Structure formats: structure tokens, C-alpha cells
A = this chain, B = another copy of it.
Amino acid sequence: MPHLKFKEMVPTYGFDDVALVPGDVTINPDQTNIDFTIGNFKFSIPILASAMDAVVDPTLAIKFGKLGGLAVLNLEGVQTRYENPDEILEQIAQAPQIEVTSLLQKIYSAPIKENLIADCISTIKQGGVTCAASLTPANTKRLAPIAKEAGIDVLVVQSTVTTAKHISKSYQGLILSELCQMMSLPIIVGNCCSYSSALELMRTGIDAILVGVGPGAACTTREVIGVGVPQITATMDCAAARETYFKKQGKYVSVITDGGIRIGGDLCKAFAAGADAVMVGSPLAQAMEAPGRGYHWGMSQPHPVLPRGTRIKVGTVASLEQILFGPTTVTDGTQNLVGALRTSMGVCGARSIKEMHKVKMIIAPAIKTEGKYFQAAQNIP
């Protein structure tokens, strides 16, 4: 209507807005290749466990690594602030919902102990698996050398939004290109969610980006500050940046979709949207081995003045192995995530993740109304 348009806006899509189209050829699931590589490390499943205290502790990291994936330990969480993290995790699980945010604010205000960083990394390394762990940009300069010293294999630099350039009065921003040189090991940075910011990050020399702002099950970033890009669009835009950067520079920077994946269907769609791997939180928090004891909370929830997130009850439903590989009697897509990926690839005719990137995807909102006509018998005992 106006003579002058104030701003262009494009439509965007999340997991529930799209679906995959079967291929013209189908493939047996056991014929699919789902390897994921970062630096010289190769993983038999393209799944990372989120750097969240309810998901990863050293024990789970070892178990997850042995199952073929890569767990990321949060180096600024309860594992490095407390000598007795299990007691703290028990407190969080026991807290009444109404008091949990203030409890978390208190718990996460304890100082990070450098010796615990080293201990955690050593424990994981001794478990015989690749060790990945995360720091926030503000603490990376100080703590990354300690992590390197302790033998970390893959460093993750992560905050709600991380950009190649940060403007601050109080401290000199982290220079990612310097970090890459100093560490000389694979570096994953995130989160980002647009073509241009992904491209800027790739130019710093990092090895992979985490994609996703605002979509997680335990995240309220969008409510609190209005910011967020639905994951399918975010992944597609960042995958486009990867292609652009690879064409120009010859370096393939992996795209890891992080946040919002609840079920096998979501995970499959992330790959079709261009992901090389996915980072998963709440579905793994449901594992018997998960440190969260059936609860899950976001790493922004303990923010001292502007908490963003909510503790959700995910329950403890199965072993880590069952959640990843089945077998299962659950039919809602929350278990056997790897089986779901291989089956989806087979149905879509994709032999590899690169072929999965080419699968047709459609806009198809997930609205089901049969409940109007037939009784949903799911909950009848």
C-alpha cells in the first residue's frame, strides 16, 4: 500500500512446515552411508550431543563416542564449577518449577575452576573417544589454552549468537582467525543462522558452524528478544554459504544444525536442508545415561538479569543406544534416530548425506485433524 516500502520480509520454514518427497529410486537402509568428518576425525553417525548440562557429562561423552557420535561437554557448566556436579544436578531436578530459574541463576554464578576443565577433558580422553568441549566467546582466550593443554581434540566456541566481529567496551573481542592459528585443531563456532553471518564466520578459518538461533525446546529467545530463524531456512541459508565458500576457497566448512530437533522426522529434514551433521539436545536428555535426570534446561536460562529458557520435563525413557539405534516400540519418532535417518534416506533414494542434500522438500504444514473424527486411543491404558 505505501508508496515507499519500509522493509522486505521473506517467508521462512521450520521443521513442522516442510516434508520430504520420496525418490524415484529407493535404496535399502543398510546401503546408506552416514559418516561425518571434521578435521581428521571421522564419526560413524552424524550426530553431536549438545553442550548442555542436562545432556552431556564425561560419562555420557564416552558412551556417546563409543556409539559413533561426538558429544560436546560444556566447559562453563556444573561440571567445571563444582567438584560434586551430581549433587548439583540432583538439586536442579528436585527444585520446584517456580524456583528453578533463581536456583539456576545461583548455581551458574559460581566460578569456573580451571583444574576441573583439565579433569573433565582427561576423563573423556581416557575413555578412548574423541573429546570435544565448548567455551563461550568471552572466556575462550583465557580457557582455550587450558583445554588444549589437557588434550582436547575439537574446540566448540558457542553462544546464543556468535559473529566474526563483536563490539564491546569492556573486553577485546575474540579474534577467531587468531584462535584457529593458536589452537591448530578443529574448531566449531556458533550459533549463527543467516547466509552472510555464516560466510563471515567461514572466512575466519574455522572448520564447522553451528546453525540455530531460537528453535530449541528449552529456549525462549524468540519470546524475550524477538530473535530467531526457523531451522529449515537457517540451515538452507548456511548450507548455501558453505557452497559459496567451498566454490571460492576450496575449503568445505561443515554445517551442523543445532536446536529444535525433537524427533527422527526433524533430524531427516535437517539433512535434506543441507546439514552435514546435527546437534541434538532434548531427545538425548531422555536417555537413562543423561545427567539431567529426566529434565532439560537451556544454557541461557541461568542468565542473571535476562534469563531465557525454561526447564522442561523430558522424562527418562530408554537407553542412549535405543534412542540412537532402536529397537523400539515407540512410534512417535523419538527413538531409533539413526534407523529413521537411514530409512528416510532409503525412501528418498539418497546413498549419502551429500545425496540427501539434493532430496526434494516441500512446504507442507503438519496439521492433523483426524482427532475430530476418530478418538485418539494413544493414551488409553
Contact = CB atoms under 8 A, between A and B. Distances in A.
A186 interface: no
A336 B306 contact: yes
A225 B347 contact: yes
Given A26-B166, A264-B226, A307 B328 contact: yes
B344 A374 contact: no
A150 interface: no
A156 interface: no
Given A10-B1, A97-B379, A105-B329, A226 B269 contact: yes
A272 B228 CA distance: 13
Given A105-B329, A327-B304, A225 B377 contact: no
Given A240-B3, A265-B225, A197 B23 contact: yes
Given A313-B374, A329-B105, A340 B1 contact: no
Interface stretch (A45-53, A74-82, A216-224): A216-224
A262 interface: yes
A318 to B, nearest CB: 13
A20 interface: yes
A142 interface: no
Interface in A5-21: 5-7, 9-14, 16, 18-21
User: Which of A197, A227, A273, A295 has the most C-beta atoms of chain B within 10 angstroms of its own C-beta?
Assistant: A227
A307 B326 CA distance: 10
Interface stretch (A56-64, A83-91, A355-363): A355-363
A263 B228 contact: no
Given A16-B367, A31-B167, A224-B340, A6 B377 contact: no
Contact of A263 (B102, B313, B373): B373
A237 interface: yes
Interface stretch (A34-42, A113-121, A123-131, A187-195): A187-195
A7 B361 contact: yes
Contacts of A330: 101, 307
Give the number of times this chain occurs in the complex, counting copies: 4
Specify the main secondary structure of chain A where it touches its partner: loop
Contacts of A343: 224-225, 306
A97 B378 contact: yes
B2 A214 contact: no
A304 B331 CA distance: 11
A354 to B, nearest CB: 13
Nearest to A296: B374
Contact of A97 (B308, B327, B328, B381): B381
6 contacts: A11-B362, A19-B228, A25-B165, A224-B264, A226-B272, A312-B374
Interface of A: 1-7, 9-14, 16, 18-28, 30-31, 96-98, 101-102, 105, 160-170, 192-197, 200, 213-214, 217, 220, 222-230, 233, 236-237, 239-241, 243-244, 262-269, 272-274, 282, 295-296, 301, 304-315, 326-334, 336, 339-341, 343-344, 347-349, 351, 360-364, 366-367, 369-370, 373-381
Given A7-B273, A25-B163, A314-B375, 12 more contacts: A1-B194, A2-B240, A22-B194, A24-B194, A28-B169, A31-B169, A97-B379, A223-B263, A225-B347, A226-B265, A306-B339, A307-B331
